Amino acid sequence: MKVAVFGLGYVGTVTAACLASHGHDVWGVDVDRAKVADIRSGRTPVAEPGLEELIGKAVADGTLHATTSCADALDEAEVSLVCVGTPSTTGGATDLSYIRRSVDDIVAALRVAVPSASGHHSVVIRSTVPPGTIDQAVLPALVSGLAGTPITPGAAMCPEFLREGTSVADFFNAPLMVVGTSDPVVAETVTSLFGFLDQPARVVEPRTAESLKYACNAFHATKVSFANEMARLLRRVGVDSREVMSLFVEDQVLNISPAYLRPGFAFGGSCLPKDIRSLLHLARVNSADLPMLSGTLATNELVIRDVVDRVVACAGRNVALLGLSFKNNTDDLRESPNVELAERLIGKGFHVRIYDPVVNPAKLIGSNRRAIEAKLPHLSRLLAHEPGQALHGADIAIVSSGDQAVRDALVRSGPAHLFDLNGRLGQQVEALAGYEGIGW
Ligand SMILES: NC(=O)c1ccc[n+]([C@@H]2O[C@H](COP(=O)([O-])OP(=O)(O)OC[C@H]3O[C@@H](n4cnc5c(N)ncnc54)[C@H](O)[C@@H]3O)[C@@H](O)[C@H]2O)c1
């Protein structure tokens, strides 16, 4: 397939060389003549292990070309991969001027180029761009710019996951191949372009693909900062943080795993809030700042406040709260965000009926009993014996229980507003009118 790669920096050069090494006819384009000259003479413009060898062989084989001319690169090309920079502006926004310029260059060149055999041209953004860029900037510029030509354009976001220093190896062992497009022809083109990678293409909406790259980088930054915050505290109390963290990563059930990474309601229970407070106290008395860890409590509070605000914005005052304990299959009410939610809604004048398949106020003992007496002393009067009773006359249902009886009752009663706090109710319930998934 003939491919034009715009931007011969770290991402573009690696992408061009790796695609060319698998037999694609690759044309790299850059405004920087020195980079183009490097590649033409078989050298790499960026230092990356293994890249010079790949470029040298691909240039000698005639599968890799470099040029400053968009027109040469786009004659009969099926696809353009855009790998130009997306730096920060002084205010922190993403500077999309290089992306816009490249798309304009592609449009201008396609208007005079020999069209591809299919008459279709896919513009695939590999640079990291904010959600909405494909739909609001790239696709409209292509469609309006190519109107009246024989070329049918399409666009996709295909995030790049390589890391500098290991980028060639990362390209061939990509953790994911994600194609963000609503155009089936583009999805098919990109899937076949990268078909030699042993990684199935996941076709999603452009905004999902655009957001995914930010989620990945935000998570990586969070991981580094988490380890470094733990180290800052542990060093002060004489503990070897590297030993702690090397044991920490051995837990691949809860720590290095998908656990706790599903957007949903706030955390709570008898351990997490208490132990975060304890760590923060230890940090304070040892003069260590832990802004990220203390931020978890602020974020947790915002999650509860967000639900309250969204419920207040609904029509109706009758609320069914389905699920009260801090998670399913326990009657532990200590620091349950559902208890906090019930207290705040009652305080705002809502009529709240509660159903929890496990909580039985008569059986609550010890600190669990004290927790509920402090927050909801009249719990037994609010509790329903079965979910249908709590839902009777409810305008709003707030659900964290995954109990089957709860799902069945929701399907039967269909309240006007439904908040699925943990996103686990399933399609049958999600299809109900007014469904709103918290955390989506
Ligand atoms: N570097 C990484 O490890 C990495 C990994 C994944 C994603 N990304 C993302 O990929 C994008 C590119 O990153 P990079 O590090 O390769 O950038 P870079 O600065 O190394 O390269 C960008 C290249 O684009 C060229 N360019 C600018 N405007 C052009 C135009 N109109 N036509 C042709 N070429 C043009 C520049 O001359 C430069 O050579 C960024 O959005 C970045 O966030 C980078």
At 335 the three-state DSSP class reads coil
Residue whose CA is at the smallest distance from ligand 1 atom 41: 127
The predicted pLDDT at position 317 comes to 96
The predicted pLDDT at position 434 comes to 66
Is 216 tagged catalytic? no
Q: How far does Cα 435 stand from its chain's mean position?
A: 22
The predicted pLDDT at position 348 comes to 97
The predicted pLDDT at position 179 comes to 98
Residue whose CA is at the smallest distance from ligand 1 atom 12: 85
The predicted pLDDT at position 439 comes to 58
Distance 285 CA to ligand 1 centre (A): 45
The predicted pLDDT at position 330 comes to 87
Closest CA to 308 of 435, 423, 419, 422: 419
Pairing status of strand 417-420 against strand 177-180? unpaired
The predicted pLDDT at position 250 comes to 98
The predicted pLDDT at position 433 comes to 61
Choose the residue to mutate in 8, 68, 83 for probing ligand 1, maximizing ligand atoms within 8 Å of C-beta. Answer: 83
- Please state the pTM of the whole predicted model: 0.93
Of 83, 158, 271, 314, which is the active-site residue? Answer: 271
* E-only strand ranges, 68-192: 79-82, 120-125, 152-157, 177-180
Pairing status of strand 64-67 against strand 435-437? unpaired
Contact 394, 318 (CB under 8 A): yes
Ligand 1 lining (C-beta closer than 6 Å):
6-12, 29-32, 35, 83-86, 98, 101-102, 105, 127-128, 160, 162-164
Contacts of residue 321, defined as CB under 8 A and 6 or more positions apart, other chains included, come to 338, 341, 342, 345, 352, 353, 354, 355, 390, 398
- The C-alpha angle with vertex 286 and arms to 280 and 287, in degrees rounded to 5, equals 85
Closest CA to 321 of 249, 237, 418, 230: 418
- The C-alpha angle with vertex 299 and arms to 297 and 303, in degrees rounded to 5, equals 115
Give the position, in ligand 1's atom list, of the atom nearest the Cα of 102: 31
From first to last of its 440 residues, the chain has per-residue pLDDT tens of 999 999 999 999 999 999 999 999 999 999 999 999 999 999 999 999 999 999 999 999 999 999 999 999 999 999 999 999 999 999 999 999 999 999 999 999 999 999 999 999 999 999 999 999 999 999 999 999 999 999 999 999 999 999 999 999 999 999 999 999 999 999 999 999 999 998 999 999 999 999 999 999 999 999 999 999 999 999 999 999 999 999 999 999 999 999 999 999 999 988 999 999 999 999 999 999 999 999 999 999 999 999 999 999 998 999 999 999 888 888 888 889 999 999 999 999 999 999 998 888 778 788 878 878 888 888 888 999 999 999 999 999 999 998 899 999 998 888 888 999 988 787 777 777 667 776 55
Number of CB atoms found within 10 A of residue 60's CB = 10
Give the position, in ligand 1's atom list, of the atom nearest the Cα of 127: 41
Q: How far apart are CA 421 and CA 440, in angstroms?
A: 10
- Output phi, psi for 114, to 5 deg: -75, 125
The predicted pLDDT at position 31 comes to 97
Closest CA to 328 of 307, 367, 304, 358: 358
The predicted pLDDT at position 270 comes to 85
- Output phi, psi for 392, to 5 deg: -60, 120
- Output phi, psi for 129, to 5 deg: -130, 150
CA distances from 284 to 45, 74, 237 (A): 49, 60, 12
Contact 384, 432 (CB under 8 A): no
Q: How far does Cα 48 stand from its chain's mean position?
A: 28
DSSP 311-326: HHTSS-SEEEEE--SS
